[in-house]
A = this chain, B = another copy of it.
Amino acid sequence: MANFVYMKKLTIKDIAKEFNVSISTVSKALNDSYEISQATKDKIQKYAKENNYKPNFNALSLKNRSTKTIGVIMPTMLNYFFAQVFKGIEDAANKNGYKVITCISNQSHNKEAEIIEMLSNGSIDGFILSMAKETELKNDFKHFNETIENGTPIVMFDRVAHSIDCDKVIADDYNGALNTVEFLHKKGHKKIAFISTMSDLQIGKQRFLGYKKGLENVGLPFNDDLVVNILEKDYKKYEKK
């Protein structure tokens, strides 16, 4: 194991001592305040840069009552869709000066609630999340409501709880499936199957309905043998490790 000595990071106070000025002068100088002379600003900024000064994140968050970080809760990451969404969130967040704290619910309602609990202490400014499978199946959204009531905003995506009053970003699962069927039919296909790993979730149901409607629209018969639903237990087996 490599060794680590606790190394105190440079603070505004240290800089103040260095130049025999007050800490507020340093603070203002670093923030380029008009109140400070150019000479003072120059030397202080130079010193700060050279010595790798960085304003302490926790002090700022405490003062500003804002952490500039977003809590992201994913049902899983072992799935291309969610990994892509994550990449998108992380990227957009960074571009806007936000960090991202990410947790995986692993489809568990309990874990999801725990995560929310853990982060609802001023660690983050708000949540972006997609519900755990179990949460949707149980229809238990208490933790979401409490969080929102306690002043932490939530944005849901993909697997959303429509009954919760918050912003949501969703795909048009119904028309997506419907259009796909029509597209395949136009390409000349006659036997179009429906395979799903989430027929128990709302998004799965919507896709199935869209699939059926699509068949109907193009005049193809619905055939039960062409519908494959991977069951919950098999799915779980797959999800684990």
Residues of B within 8 A of A54 (CB): 120-122
Within 8 A of B (CB), among A89-135: 90-91, 94, 99-104, 106, 115, 118-123
Within 8 A of B (CB), among A33-68: 52, 54-59, 61-62, 67
Residues of B within 8 A of A171 (CB): none
* 14 more A-B residue pairs beyond the given contacts A58-B61, A58-B62, A62-B62, with a C-beta to C-beta distance below 8 A: A2-B166, A4-B151, A7-B151, A8-B151, A9-B150, A56-B121, A58-B58, A76-B87, A77-B77, A77-B83, A77-B86, A78-B87, A99-B103, A100-B103
A binding-site residues for B, Cβ under 8 Å: 1-2, 4-9, 52, 54-59, 61-62, 67, 69, 76-78, 80, 83-84, 86-87, 90-91, 94, 99-104, 106, 115, 118-123, 146, 150-151, 153, 165-167
Question: Is A58 a contact partner of B122 (Cβ separation < 8 A)?
Answer: yes
The answer for the CA separation of A98 and B113 in the assembled complex, in Å, is: 16
Question: Is A91 a contact partner of B104 (Cβ separation < 8 A)?
Answer: yes
Question: Is A2 a contact partner of B165 (Cβ separation < 8 A)?
Answer: yes
Question: Is B121 a contact partner of A57 (Cβ separation < 8 A)?
Answer: yes
Residues of B within 8 A of A100 (CB): 101-103
Question: Is A122 a contact partner of B167 (Cβ separation < 8 A)?
Answer: no
Residues of B within 8 A of A86 (CB): 77
Residues of B within 8 A of A101 (CB): 69, 99-102
Residues of B within 8 A of A56 (CB): 62, 121-122
Residues of B within 8 A of A90 (CB): 102-104
